[in-house]
Structure 1
């Protein structure tokens, strides 16, 4: 293999600790730190049950992806699996939809950066904050995957330690009255303001949409498989930790927050983590947590841009995107794919300038429907890969639990979430955009096939 061909491949530079923290960071983003305030208003203290239910489904989706990623650790992840086990059109749709998803997720993460910076510097326009952060994260991604892995490792570690610290400090307030004049707060707030289920089962059901948005990003571990040094070991470890991760960081953190702070007094915007410590007069802790939620948003955007670059690289390798996106630099970084993805994400700077108040909800709606499409594709492709492996009598190295019941149950759950979105005024518009987007992808695939046919005809004429 010559030097030029070697430079057209991504490098396996992600170590076990990188994979673990990338998977962990994918589960902890703006959905928990920022979006959880709005979810609490819908379900009250019962939001913990919503996270438990959504977390169970996410675990099955992750195991479905892990089953294929361990067998075939490629950079294109489930787009490549869809292409292989389902067909060219599903592979084309899976890849481009996932790229679109992470462009929107990146926009959503950047859109709230301004809110965190305004906590300290209220006079700085949100669009300036978004632009500066976009440039910094792009530069980080352009270096090499090991540098990205190190950056994400430390940013994710900040999030993890902050949440653990918040839970420990919160338990101190609940049990011993630390920060509350020595008077234990207790857990009565979980049922003293309209009950544990203040809005009934309807509250839990309606909260599931925002809960599932919060979990968007956990499937990023499948993308890292193509650059993991030992994917058959690290991928199963990262995926199996999804369960305790969700229990600790979502259910544990929200349980502590809602025990300390009456859910009825929580603002529907901003970070509930910061709100709590500001409310009880601990300004230094509030400042620290604001820094943490800022790093969480930057970390999530960092992961989104990383994913975008690898997805476009994978699409180029399949022939589903221009070869321009398949070119990498000497360190194995798909520079062109990253820069083009950044260019599209720049739209959020304009949107933040025009309507900073509504931008997060609109972007969250688009991100939610696109990630649901991705998850559904993962589950369907896993069914098809199992069928093909059974026919070929090939072993499954990392089996999905309760297969095939878990796969069908997860698909039904995703359909239910889409139906719930149809009942939400701020979400329903995304259900009109999704079919149009899928139709555009269908036309794009047809155009690609037509172009291939024309090139083949020209080649035959030249040979003749």
Structure 2
């Protein structure tokens, strides 16, 4: 019997992805993607490496990724049959590009999700130190799977509230920092809160140009997931209005959530006093006389990790659905539930999360594994962002009439595409300079070799099927 609450198609017609995400959902999904766990936990290390110049690092990365998002927005709106960026990459660059894009993006989020699930287990230990690590990981994946199986709107609601928690925490930090600066707060060790702390100790670039460049290596991880709005395109109500709104607000979000937060931290705590392996958010609230800060920030970071894992579960299932439609993944992933959710893809991705979590749990040096995982993830995400830009170049060359008719043109056009691609190449060079991040660059080519071998097998299988169909017709 057909469920009329979720299924509005004629009887016998297969289900399709439904446009159930409103502007409220899309805006907060985009915000959640732009605010990574790296801001809460990784900003201490970036400040110790780059000093106050880290503010410029985040602004530059945010500026570049804004153009990637604008290119993605113009492409998605040029043809509303595109369900995500996997579709336009396959259409504009060829089926092999779509295959590599889809599976790489799936792997990006599986790798990121594994790290998030393990992180959630670690954060849970703060309150429940005697609970075995595998239990919170299992509970988190089971909860995300069950909620995402209900409807796509449930994913939107989860991301809305996860993002709200992050926004409230950052706004609280900025307001607390502003109050401490205005009142010239004196810390227990004699430091006075002042904007002068940004430049009074060695200037804005205390470690020189190399220190400034070192900040890029870690800061880029914080922006992983900024393209999430592109995976929701097929399930967005009124995409012509809601996608541009979400993308256009990115510069404001970068300033509000990254730049203002870092200014507040550096104004209250001189950069030399920021501890690399501690969250500067916790330290600022502790200075403000809020001893519960550690528990509060632990909760915020836990929800931030849960938000990232939730995004991963959502996006990987949609990637598998798109790949299956093209014949690049097993046909079972084409199945949609009565509620128009790719349930088989969701279940498979969650099983992969748990299997990967088990592998990482068995690695003796957990932090070393995390560094490797996050670097692999960020490198592969840069591949995805680069493919979006290359798709845009092909679109401008082969679909010039669509560009002329577009009401949402990418500013800077082809010039900014090449600027962004050069920037990503520069980041890869920086990753190769450090021992811990260089190891990940050795792993990434192996993934592409594996994909290439699998693609050859898929092409041969498609050719055999086509040959059988021809013989049957004869």
Q: TM-score of the superposition, structure 1-length normalised?
A: 0.94
CA 1:352–1:197: 2 relative to 1, 3 Å: farther
Q: How does 1:62-211 map to 2 (within 5 A)?
A: 62-73=69-80, 76-177=83-184, 185-211=193-219
Counterpart of 1:345 in structure 2 is 353
Tell me how far apart the structure 2 counterparts of residues 139 and 175 of structure 1 sit (CA, whole Å). Answer: 47
Tell me how far apart the structure 1 counterparts of residues 54 and 157 of structure 2 sit (CA, whole Å). Answer: 33
2:463 to 437, 450, 453: 453
CA 1:32–1:180: 2 relative to 1, 3 Å: same
Offset of residue 111 of structure 1: 2.8
The alignment status of 1:400 with 2:407, answered yes or no, reads no
CA 1:26–1:75: 2 relative to 1, 3 Å: farther
The answer for unaligned runs of 5 or more in structure 2 is 1-8
What's the Cα RMSD here?
A: 2.2
Tell me how far apart the structure 2 counterparts of residues 107 and 36 of structure 1 sit (CA, whole Å). Answer: 21
Counterpart of 1:27 in structure 2 is 34
Offset of residue 192 of structure 1: 4.3
1:388 to 388, 394, 398: 398
Q: SS at the partner of 1:428?
A: helix
* 1:389–1:395 contact (8 Å) kept in structure 2: no
CA 1:217–1:102: 2 relative to 1, 3 Å: same
Offset of residue 402 of structure 1: 1.1
1:57 to 59, 64, 67: 64
Counterpart of 2:375 in structure 1 is 365
Tell me how far apart the structure 2 counterparts of residues 270 and 348 of structure 1 sit (CA, whole Å). Answer: 24
1:308 to 316, 319, 329: 316
CA 1:271–1:350: 2 relative to 1, 3 Å: farther
Counterpart of 1:217 in structure 2 is 225
Offset of residue 425 of structure 1: 0.9
Offset of residue 279 of structure 1: 5.2
* 2:78–2:402 contact (8 Å) kept in structure 1: no
The alignment status of 1:421 with 2:431, answered yes or no, reads yes
The count of residues paired between Structure 1 and Structure 2 equals: 463
Offset of residue 167 of structure 1: 0.5
User: Which stretch shows the higher mean deviation, 191-200 or 35-44?
Assistant: 191-200
Tell me how far apart the structure 2 counterparts of residues 3 and 321 of structure 1 sit (CA, whole Å). Answer: 27
Q: SS at the partner of 2:125?
A: helix
Tell me how far apart the structure 2 counterparts of residues 392 and 376 of structure 1 sit (CA, whole Å). Answer: 21
Offset of residue 287 of structure 1: 2.2
* 1:421–1:427 contact (8 Å) kept in structure 2: yes
Post-superposition Cα deviations, 1:284-329, rounded to whole Å, max 9, x if no partner, equal 2332222112111111111111111111111112221111111110
* 1:236–1:398 contact (8 Å) kept in structure 2: yes
Tell me how far apart the structure 1 counterparts of residues 304 and 82 of structure 2 sit (CA, whole Å). Answer: 24
